[in-house]
Structure 1
Amino acid sequence: MPLAYSKCYDPSGARYGIPTYPWRLAPEGLATRRQLRARGLRPGGQPVAAQIMRRSRHRKAGVAIAYLYREDLAQPVRPMTPGRVRALAAAMRARRTCPGCRSDAGYCIPTSLGLCVTCAYSA
């Protein structure tokens, strides 16, 4: 195993408290939240089973971590109910409504501006 992987390879969990694997070298049967979601699954309250680590120039510690969950304990994603569809539509409508002109901008209002582009740059 190359030297770069030695800091991230801890299958026993002695160093980091949980089993740790280098990027793309996790064993079969473990998946991240995104991978579970792509398969129509969710963690379902199970604890983190392991983690994967990789170098990152964008993080303060220089390391990016993704938690892994067991696929055999994962549960199916809950179906969308009519109430959840209405709540999601209302939340998205609120994000698109400009507080200045009270119109639907057709896009999510940038939080940096707080107003639609037309209202923010009207002067």
Structure 2
Amino acid sequence: MNRPAGTQPVYRWRLAPEGLATYRQLRAMGLRPGGQPVAAQIERPRRRRGPLIAYLYRIDLAKPVRRANAAQRRCPGCGLDRGYRIPRSLGVCPQCADSPATQAA
């Protein structure tokens, strides 16, 4: 992750402008920073230790999250991306393995 050099604006907790998001907020939107520098930061005061700092990234420059193992998630039986890795022991997704056509073969 790119860390700020100290020249970015600092906003108080919950007062960041629209169009900026933290790393976790980007992930929840299905995005990633994509190599862009930190645009700003948020400070939240703490009582005993120093302030909590969250780095903000521009949403318009964010890129989609990469999908790992895409070939291993696609079922050869039905051709659908199941969102999980197809078990090697079955060779197809559990739905295709349970279908009567597959069991007869």
TM-score range, shorter chain: 0.5 to 0.7
The match for 1:72 is 60
The match for 1:24 is 14
Deviation at 1:57, TM superposition (A): 3.4
- Among 37, 49, 55, the alignment partner of 2:39 is 49
CA–CA distance in structure 2, aligned partners of residues 82 and 50 of structure 1: 34
For the aligned residue pairs, the C-alpha RMSD in angstroms reads 2.3
**Residues matched between the structures, number:** 69
The match for 1:39 is 29
User: Greater relative contact order (Cα 8 A, min sep 6): structure 1 or 2?
Assistant: 2
After TM superposition, what 4+ stretches of structure 1 lie above 3 angstroms from structure 2? 82-85
CA–CA distance in structure 2, aligned partners of residues 79 and 28 of structure 1: 27
Deviation at 1:56, TM superposition (A): 1.7
CA–CA distance in structure 1, aligned partners of residues 70 and 19 of structure 2: 33
CA–CA distance in structure 1, aligned partners of residues 28 and 22 of structure 2: 10
CA–CA distance in structure 1, aligned partners of residues 65 and 12 of structure 2: 28
Q: How does 1:55-94 map to 2 (within 5 A)?
A: 55-57=45-47, 60=49, 62-81=50-69
Unaligned runs of 5+ in 2: 1-5, 74-105
Unaligned runs of 5+ in 1: 1-15, 86-123
Deviation at 1:29, TM superposition (A): 0.1
User: How high is the sequence identity, in percent, across the aligned residues?
Assistant: 66
Larger % of helix: which?
1
Deviation at 1:40, TM superposition (A): 0.2
Name the CA shift for 1:84/1:31 in 2 (closer, same or farther; >3 Å).
farther
The match for 2:101 is none
CA–CA distance in structure 1, aligned partners of residues 32 and 43 of structure 2: 21
